[in-house]
Chains A and B, each alone.
Chain A
Amino acid sequence: MEHLELFFKSIFIDNMIFATFLGMCSYLAVSKKVSTAVGLGAAVIFVLAVTVPLNWLLDQYILQPGALRWLGPEYADYDLSFLSFILFIATIATMVQLVEIVVEKFSPSLYNSLGIFLPLIAVNCAILGGSLFMQAREIPTLGLALNYGVSSGIGWFLAILAIAAIREKIRYSNVPAPLRGLGITFIITGLMAIGFMSFGGMLTGGDEETSEQTETAQIEQVQKQEEDNKLAENTTTINE
């Protein structure tokens, strides 16, 4: 149940593009054709599925306050969380290189379709953002971290697929000249994001959440959801 909830939440409610704008640069640059968009989207799912669990392990056993306890009791006081940016990005950069080499060796056909996108991905905000949000939301288990990586990747994939399809069609429409290209893409993405907001009530039952959503900024919303989650966890443990 927990898994299912996180899965749908990361795809629809906390969609990387529409709720947090992660990976917008490549989203805008590579969404002119559906075929390339599919390639990049698949590569993002793949890399997120590898890096998020890996960074979860790093976070759990090296970075968090007290995470070094397994080395012995004298290490229990260390807090290395300020190093998380550099460790995460190093993991991502090496993993991308590694994935590129492995894919090239074992599946040339996959390499041909994903290959050119893999180097782009090391600097895609969605990848680092996935790991940073994983850390900020304090995802409890490795399984959930893997789930989070895959499902937010799928959310990103859906978003870029949708915008690429729309952009292929919109070429035949009569858009005002100054708005053509970039401008209209921004506005369409905005409208799609408004559409995706309607998924917001899906898991919470609706009523209270939606009335407050109009008041608070997106960032506050994320924080609030975290608090709600913590509250829910607390109550379940008490009930048990």
Chain B
Amino acid sequence: MSLEFLVASGIGVLVAGGIYLALRGRTFQVVLGLTLFSYAVNLFLFASGRLVVDRPPIWSKAVNEYTDPLPQALVLTAIVITFGMTALAVILMLRSFLETGSDQVDGDSTEEHEDERS
């Protein structure tokens, strides 16, 4: 079994889990789905530099071979932004729960649909 297979299948598993959870009916699961999906996306971006073992992109006169540093730089900021996004989603979910008393996102209950015409 190759490392490439492990990473690719890992991405697939995370995406599948993320999609499934993002389609559930409660905010907390949607956020978890988002988190899984973010893991997968970050991993995928990172993998676009291909898998290289023991060649960190720390420049030195003695070393000639490095892994690709660019996807790493992009993914590093992506990880931090993911946190920002997750935090915002969590707070939104919390606020909407506190405002409405419900943590559902299916929104099919149209009773509260307000008629604004006066």
A and B held together in a complex: no
A interface residues with partner B (beta carbon < 8 Å): none
